[in-house]
Amino acid sequence: MGSVKDLEVLREPTKERMGIGRFHFSDRYSVFDWGGMPDHIPYKGEATTLLGAYFFEKLEEMGISTHYMGLVEDGEVKGLSDVKRPINKIEIKLLRVIKPKLQDTDYDYSVYREEKGGFLIPLEVIYRNFLPTGSSVFRRLKDGEICPADLNLSITPLPNQELDSPFIDYSTKLEITDRYLAREEARCIAGLSDDEMLEMERIAIGVNDLITKEFSKIGLVNEDGKLEFGFDLKRCFMLVDVLGTLDECRFTFDGIPVSKEIARVYYRKTEWHHAVEKAKKKDRQHWREMCELNPEPLPEMLKLLISQVYCAVTNEVTQRTWFKDLPPLKELLKDIEEALKI
């Protein structure tokens, strides 16, 4: 069970063969690495499932390998065009998840230098086209963790600045609390060669271009997003988890957030968020137990609006009316703007 989706294992993966599993996408949501929040967003699971399937099928058409096998409706595995109603299950190929060993406060990733294939790469690969106000990049610039040159810039960027070319960023995937990595550290801990690193980045740019193109058709800007990769049994890259959804990406319309960022904007103004930041500064490993406050549920009207945004985006990107009786997306976003007082 994850924070927003559950994994059903039908066949365990081994070194010799990939497994088979099913993702069950839930209406749960998570912000600031908290895990499941105290309430749920109606229809979010189905909207995310359908949009994720749409992009997986687009990538397969482009010749980019993924772990997607199809949507599960009434126990059968089907393509998106054959599904008759909103559903929340995807069947996938499963890779081994090899966790690095925690030694005191450091992680030992040496096992990845010995593995050949059939495993999840322990990185999140993040593409950045814009630097929105809430981007972690500004905190990292302030703390000296990165400098403008790392972003191919000569001076410190401004909030909401568009980058001349996408910046590929990295973070850990399997640590208790994820941390950002310099490119060379990311390559080393994952046991990748220089050529493999370049190939992974090439694929990430191609995925970014696809998502940007598809969302621009409905007037939305693709600001940033995350991807996860694995190696198949022949050590060829394959995209895993899910991508192109409002949970994995940050989209905007005229500066209005159109993603999980809506909830982040709301919660950043709460005392709970201040408590989270305070706890993380004290202990990056055990901050959750140390946090002095728990989050309150979203206001009912904002929760409804977020639900409608997830559904409307899925309708408009896939060009199919999965969810009925919705206001137009741009009308919903005006209400989001008013609710958040952006």
Q: What is the pLDDT of residues 229-286, one digit of tens each?
A: 999 999 999 999 999 999 999 999 998 999 999 999 999 999 999 999 999 988 877 8
Residue 312 reports pLDDT greater than 90 = yes
Between helix 183-190 and helix 194-216 the angle, nearest 10°, is 110
Residue 177 reports pLDDT greater than 90 = no
Share of the chain above pLDDT 70, in %: 99
Other CB atoms closer than 10 Å to residue 97's CB: what's the count?
Answer: 12
Between helix 261-268 and helix 271-282 the angle, nearest 10°, is 90
Average confidence (pLDDT) over 140-144: 91
Strand partners, 237: 231
The CA angle 204-206-211, to the nearest 5 degrees, is 95
Average confidence (pLDDT) over 178-189: 94
Cα radius of gyration rounded to whole Å, the chain: 20
User: What confidence tier does 332 reach under pLDDT thresholds 50, 70, 90?
Assistant: very high
User: What confidence tier does 15 reach under pLDDT thresholds 50, 70, 90?
Assistant: very high
Region of poorest pLDDT, from 5-9, 102-106, 296-300: 102-106
Beta strands in 153-307 (DSSP E): 161-172, 180-181, 221-231, 237-240, 249-253, 256-257
Task: State the DSSP string of 207-222.
Answer: HHHHHHHHHHTTT-EE
Other CB atoms closer than 10 Å to residue 34's CB: what's the count?
Answer: 19
User: What confidence tier does 16 reach under pLDDT thresholds 50, 70, 90?
Assistant: very high
**Cα separation of 319 and 325, whole Å?**
15
Share of the chain above pLDDT 90, in %: 86
Average confidence (pLDDT) over 64-86: 97
Query: Residue length, the chain?
Result: 342
DSSP letter at 145?
S
**Cα separation of 171 and 200, whole Å?**
14
Contact assessment for residue 256 and residue 335, using Cβ atoms and an 8 Å cutoff: no
What is the token pair recorded at 70?
A: 């199809």
Look at residue 285 in the predicted model and tell me its pLDDT: 78
Side-by-side strand order, sheet with 89-94: 5-11, 19-25, 89-94, 68-73, 76-78
Residue 82 reports pLDDT greater than 90 = yes
Look at residue 1 in the predicted model and tell me its pLDDT: 61
For residue 234, what are the CA distances in angstroms to 18, 55, 68, 119, 147?
Answer: 11, 24, 17, 11, 37
Three-state secondary structure readout of 257-268? ECCCHHHHHHHH
**Cα separation of 319 and 302, whole Å?**
25
pTM, to two decimals: 0.93
**Among all chains, which residue has been given the structure tokens 């309430």?**
39
Residue 133 reports pLDDT greater than 90 = no
Give the end-to-end CA distance of the chain in Å, rounded to a whole number. 34
Look at residue 186 in the predicted model and tell me its pLDDT: 97
Is the Cα dihedral 155, 157, 162, 166 positive or negative? positive
Q: DSSP 3-state assignment of 13?
A: coil
Residue 342 reports pLDDT greater than 70 = no
Residue 322 reports pLDDT greater than 80 = yes
Contact assessment for residue 316 and residue 269, using Cβ atoms and an 8 Å cutoff: no
* Domains defined for the chain, CATH in brackets: 5-340 (3.30.470.20)
